[in-house]
Amino acid sequence: LTDEPSTWHGSSLLSVTQITPEGLSLLMKTSQEMRKLVQSKGGDSRLQHRLLATIFYEASTRTSCSFQAAFKRLGGDVIHVDAGGSTSSTKKGESLSDTIRCLECYVDLSVLRHPVNGSVGEVIQKCCKPVLNAGDGTGEHPTQAL
């Protein structure tokens, strides 16, 4: 992920090591622009008709809400899955990969938090659509690091 915006389009984020120094500069510049947009207008509609899945196998209020708020402020909508809760198909034995493959049929992008180190990387290898790592056990949590 570089300073060329096309390298970010359609890409998953597993680790901060994927981001070049120039890519980090682009990310920080874009973040500052987004902050100004929210402060002045509350958001816009650039993600209208886009759908994000936030899939959390362990609780994290701030991480979950920050992704949901950002996506909605840009006109998108969110499906939240409390995969560790009593209404999840994981209670019936559905695998992590099956859950994500099913959900990616409905959404444009997924954010995944899972308690097992390396689980997000395994999912990314099997998915066709981008997945953002929102923490995988004792592994990396790149969006928090940023």
Catalytic entry in 9, 41, 49, 92? 92
Q: Which residues pair with 53 in a beta bridge?
A: 79, 110
101 assigned to active site: no
Measuring CA to CA, which residue among 108, 55, 105, 35 is closest to residue 77?
108
Catalytic entry in 54, 63, 99, 114? 63
Catalytic entry in 54, 99, 113, 114? 113
92 assigned to active site: yes
Catalytic entry in 54, 99, 114, 141? 141
Burial label, 137 (beta-carbon count in 10 A; 0-12, 13-18, 19+): middle
- Helix (H) / strand (E) element for 22: namely helix 21-41
3 state SS of 83: coil
30 assigned to active site: no
63 assigned to active site: yes
Catalytic entry in 17, 49, 62, 87? 62
113 assigned to active site: yes
Q: For residues 108 and 99, is the Cβ–Cβ distance under 8 A?
A: no
Residues assigned a catalytic role: 62-63, 92, 113, 141
